[in-house]
Structure 1
Amino acid sequence: MATPESRPRSLVLASTSPYRRELLERLRLPFSVVPPGVDETPLPGEEPAALALRLALAKARAVSRTRPGALVVGSDQVATLGDAPIGKPGSFDKALEQLRAMRGRTVTFHTAVAVDDGRRAASATVVTRCTLRDLPDRALRAYLEAERPFDTAGSAKAEALGIALMERIDSDDPTALIGLPLIALTRLLAEFGLDPLDALEEARA
């Protein structure tokens, strides 16, 4: 169990994503949110998993520099179809184009999470593979009109109606696909002396 001396003074999420904020709230730990302001441009020849991990660490490190003593969480996700990266569509037409390319195929999501306390950092990467149903355009259009997932990489929100697009999902952490792998994050936080269940027990004492 963490002691008052070992427990970080505060928890910070280095992200502007409302999805990551909602996920972190599930752990019932008080936290603040700070935009990391990190350049997310891939390096030449950078592999998807390496890009996600580098950016997760960079986000945590950038905010950690401005929040001495805090425990900072950074995360990033890169999706690929074959060798091609898949980003956020931004519009109906681009989302439809993505879903057409993905139907009947498997999309791989590399989701990295990092924790930095200003002295050291720890990280983990979770791979999720989503195989989509081979659906006709009318079904894809109906989904996009109903959910409008234009700010989501791959144009499908599996935590909502987008699950109807899926044939199967393979992952060690179901929250990784949404953008913040909570199983991995819980393990990392415990390494820094902050276990959500310990904190819950202490709050009730």
Structure 2
Amino acid sequence: MVASPLILASGSAVRATLMRNAGLAFTVQDSRVDEDAVKQNFAGGDADALACRLAEEKALAVSRAEAGSLVVGADQILSCDGARFDKPRDMAEARANLQRFRARTHILHSGVVLALDGEIVWRHSAQAHLTMREFSDGFLDWYLDKLGEKVRTSVGCYQLEGPGIQLFDKIEGDYFTILGLPMLPLLGELRRRQVVQ
């Protein structure tokens, strides 16, 4: 079986790096999906389903124009105490979000799908539970000063591979799920489809 060309329907540098580091051959096409519109039109409060819906919309937007290509779509939602959070719009919102997450467990809901010829052919969702420690306002000031605008690039205002790891007491979940692309299930499905060995 000849493998279909693989496309990542995302502008996320992190997702592209994860796939590249895994040895996958693919191209990148940003789907340009209006995520806010998808969220506003989403019926129901299930964050896992919303993460998958966003991933589906991204994959389908590219797949409809790329016949014969297998398109990867992925997205992530953060929930804490029943509320959903987006990437912070500014530093004040980043501070407020981190204060809200402090000494609590939040959930990262990651969805990944594959689309082929304008149809979703596979989907997977996964969760990671992350518990922030009771850090001081002084530590928060240091953290925000050290990272600056970088905190606005992720929904949780952290990157675990940097100083963000200092925010946490406990992490339960797959590293790739935390980064927004559950790689092991994706690779398993790509092997099943003989896209990779």
The TM-score with structure 2 as length reference comes to 0.91
In the aligned structure 1, how far is the partner of 2:48 from the partner of 2:60? 18
Higher relative helix content? 2
| Greater displacement, 71-80 / 50-59 | 50-59
Given candidates 26, 31, 50, the residue that maps to 2:26 is: 31
Asked if residue 123 in structure 1 is aligned to residue 119 in structure 2, the reply is no
**Matched residue SS, 1:175:** helix
1:15-164 equivalences under 5 Å are 15-40=10-35, 41-42=38-39, 43-118=42-117, 121-148=121-148, 149-164=151-166
Please identify, of 131-140 and 156-165, the stretch whose mean Cα deviation from structure 2 is larger. Answer: 156-165
What is the aligned residue count?
190
Residue 177 of structure 2 contacts residue 183 of structure 2 at CA under 8 Å; is this kept in 1?
Answer: yes
**CA–CA distance in 1 between the matches of 2:73 and 2:57?**
8
| 1:107–1:130 contact (8 Å) kept in structure 2 | yes
Question: C-alpha deviations, 1:59-115, integer Å up to 9, x for none?
Answer: 112111111111110001000111111111132211111111111100101000011
Provide the identity percentage.
32
Q: Which runs of 4+ in 1 moved over 3 A?
A: none
Q: What whole-Å deviation, never above 9, does each CA across 1:95-142 have from its counterpart, x for those lacking one?
A: 111111111100101000011222651011110000001000111121
Aligned to 1:191: 192
Measure, in 2, the Cα distance between the counterparts of 1:46 and 1:152. Answer: 21
> How far has the Cα of 1:34 moved from its partner?
0.6
**Matched residue SS, 1:68:** coil
Tell me which amino acid in the other structure corresponds to 2:18. L
Q: CA deviation at 1:30?
A: 1.8
1:150 aligned counterpart, secondary structure: helix
- Match of 2:7? 12
Gaps of 5+ in 1: 199-205
Q: Relative to 1, partners in 2 of residues 1:120 and 1:84: Cα closer, same or farther, differing over 3 Å?
A: closer
Is the CA contact (8 Å cut-off) linking 2:48 and 2:126 kept in structure 1? no
Residue deviations 1:17-46, cap 9 Å, x none?
111111111111221111112232321434
8 Å Cα contact 1:123-1:188 kept in structure 2: no
Residues 71 and 114 in structure 2, CA contact (< 8 A), matched pair in contact too = yes
- Structure 2's unaligned 5+ residue stretches are none
User: Are positions 1:168 and 2:170 aligned together?
Assistant: yes
The more displaced of 72-81 and 40-49 is: 40-49
The code of the aligned residue for 1:169 comes to I
Indicate if the aligned counterparts of 1:81 and 1:108 stay in contact, CA closer than 8 A: yes
SS at match of 2:128: strand
